[in-house]
Structure 1
Amino acid sequence: MTQTHHHLPGDERDLRQDLAAALRLAVRHNMHEGICNHFSIALDDHRFLLNPFGIHWSRVCASDIITVDEHAPDNEAEITALCIHRAVHKRHPRGAVVLHAHMPYATALTCTTDPRLRPIHQNSLRFYQDVAYDNEYNGLAETFEEGERIAEAMNDKSVLFMANHGVMVASPTMAEAFDKLYYLERACEVQVLALSTGQELVELDAELAQRTKADFDQGSAYHQAHFEAIKPLLDRSYLR
């Protein structure tokens, strides 16, 4: 397995607070599902922060976030999170932050015969040629082998569509990861609604799509501005 070296700026408490904020914001945007799914942030090559199983995302505080150490025999992590997130953090070149969710519109596309995110809208172009597709659903990811298979399917793409399951986003910062997750669901919503008209989708020109994607890729300041702008929508209890 390729070894990556993720070292995020800021102290661990800041990272815990950002993780708690992202989970609560996901609820506000209907990107959550029960007490399932996980967001994680790598601390180093062997440890990562993770939301605990059993606490609703709307109530997660910084102090609730657990540290998963792959070498510790008493990991508190829910097994599917341990198997999937561990593998992606290790393999993905930019995977310091990994977000896995069963968002309605994105997940709906993963359940179709053609799940491709098509270049039909400005938001779709944010992800042009940056989406991987895992077309093999094997049930719950409860083995390290299945986690490795999923990570290999994602390769170096920012987004993975997981057949009949959900999506995953990997990015170097929480601000970028959350921004991608948010706009991914918006792009999928547009595509599902466009398909519901029964009309053919109009795909944008490849050269235009590539140029627009390149412009979006210069938007690290926007990622941070977006994340900082929406955090005040939350009550400050997530900071605890």
Structure 2
Amino acid sequence: MAPVSTADLNLAATNGPPTKIADSKSTANQEIGFLSPPNLHFPNKVAEREYIKGRLAGAYRIFGHFGLNEGLAGHITVRDPIDPATFWVNPFGVDFNLIKKSDLLRVDHQGNILDHGKVKVLNRAAFLIHGAIHEARPDVLCAAHTHSVYGRAFCALGKELDTISLESCIFYDDHIVFEGKGVVLASDEGHDIAAALRDKKAALLRNHGLLTVGQTIEEAVNWFYMLDKCCHVNLLADAAANGRGTETVKISQEEAEYTRGVAGSHKAGWMGGNAMFDLIDELTGKKYLE
């Protein structure tokens, strides 16, 4: 059982009333009334682990609901609170829309399965990519990667997102394009992705798919959802502009940096993802917690 429900969150967790920002040059890192993640208190580490597992199962349901998964490909991982050198991930071959907390696998960075449910099968690419990221980025609790349709299509262009919308500015100078070799089946490829990602929140894996990370599960989920939407919008805008013989209008660097500082923070990421968990709880009756 979760120590606190999303319904218990209240305005005491906010930064106060919306802030009026006058100078974008000096206030690019200010946030406007975003809820903060609650300070969860657990009786012990086992209870914390169970909560994290439940949240991860919910993340898979969110991806399934919004069609962010494709076939058997894709994985979302979360660092284990008891043994941070291990992480939880989905069993290979189980549809995201059916995943429950009891199905999840706990694996180490060598791909050894330490805990499992009914299906004891691991996608090799999951631990090669995510193991390297969790090892290189101690600030990352959760990492998400799938072969979503619009993400995959945009990644075929081998370029960064254009700053053509406020949402795309969230990823301005905070995502990378990785020129990989396709399916990740060797450890050096996973380490190369982690090294290229550096301290960014997202990666466009060329001819492959999207990758996002977060300090919370909610944040990683929200960034992935938004990144895929931005890829979709970029594709539509480029097609429309090409059809008209024009180019898309880009947001300036100054405004893009300001928007990222406001809407691309950890708090903003968590708040957007948290709303998705409220939705999936309503739609599933929290069956994923079984």
TM-score, normalized by the shorter chain, greater than 0.5: yes
Residue in 1 that maps onto 2:152: 107
Residue 130 of structure 2 corresponds to residue 123 of structure 1: no
Look up the match of 1:4. Answer: none
Specify the alignment match of 1:193 in structure 2: 236
Q: Is the 8 A contact 2:111 2:124 kept in 1?
A: no
- Please give the secondary structure, in 1, of the residue aligned with 2:200: coil
Give the letter aligned to residue 283 of structure 2.
L
Instruction: From the superposition, tell whether residues 74 and 220 of structure 1 become closer, same or farther in structure 2 (CA, over 3 Å).
Output: closer
Match of 1:95 among 140, 147, 151: 140
Larger Rg: 2
Q: Report whether the alignment pairs 1:133 with 2:177.
A: yes
Residue 201 (structure 1) shift: 1.3
Deviation at 1:72? 7.5
Of the three residues 224, 227, 230, the one matched with 2:279 is 230
Residues 13 and 45 (structure 1), Cα distance of their counterparts in 2 relative to 1, 3 Å cut: closer
1:50-199 correspondence runs (5 A): 50-70=89-109, 73=112, 76-112=121-157, 114-135=158-179, 137-197=180-240, 198=242, 199=246
Q: Which residue of 1 aligns with 2:250?
A: 203
Aligned-residue RMSD, C-alpha: 2.0
Distance between the aligned counterparts of 1:235 and 1:195, measured in 2? 40
**Shift of residue 220, structure 1, vs aligned partner:** 5.1
Query: After TM superposition, which residue ranges in structure 1, 4 or more long, deviate above 3 angstroms?
Result: 70-76
Give, in whole Å, the separation in 2 of the partners of 1:238 and 1:73. 25
- How far is 1:162 from its partner? 0.5
Deviation of 1:102 (Å): 1.0
Asked if structure 2 preserves the Cα contact closer than 8 Å seen for 1:128 and 1:209, the reply is yes
Structure 2: distance between partners of 1:93 and 1:227: 25
Q: How many residues align?
A: 231
Asked whether the equivalents of residues 92 and 170 of structure 1 are also in contact (C-alpha less than 8 Å), the reply is: no
Residue 222 of structure 1, CA deviation: 2.2
Aligned counterpart in structure 2 of residue 47 of structure 1, from 69, 86, 102: 86
Q: Would you say 1:16 and 2:63 are equivalent positions? A: no
TM-score by length of 1: 0.89
The change in CA–CA distance for 1:131 and 1:70 in structure 2 (over 3 A counts) is closer
Length-normalised TM-score, structure 2: 0.74
- Any stretches of 5+ residues in structure 2 without a counterpart? 1-38, 43-47, 115-120
Deviations 1:129-179 (A, max 9, x none): 1001112x3232112111111111111110011010001101110111111
Structure 1 pair 34/45, CA: closer, same or farther in 2 (3 Å)?
A: same
Structure 1 regions of 5+ residues with no counterpart?
1-7
Q: Is the 8 A contact 1:106 1:185 kept in 2?
A: yes
Which amino acid in structure 1 is aligned with residue 272 of structure 2? H
Q: Please give the per-residue CA displacement for 1:47-87, whole angstroms capped at 9, x wherever unaligned.
A: 10001101111100000011112367556532111111100
Give the share of equivalent positions with the same residue, in percent: 26
Name the CA shift for 1:72/1:59 in 2 (closer, same or farther; >3 Å): closer
Residue matched to 1:37: 74
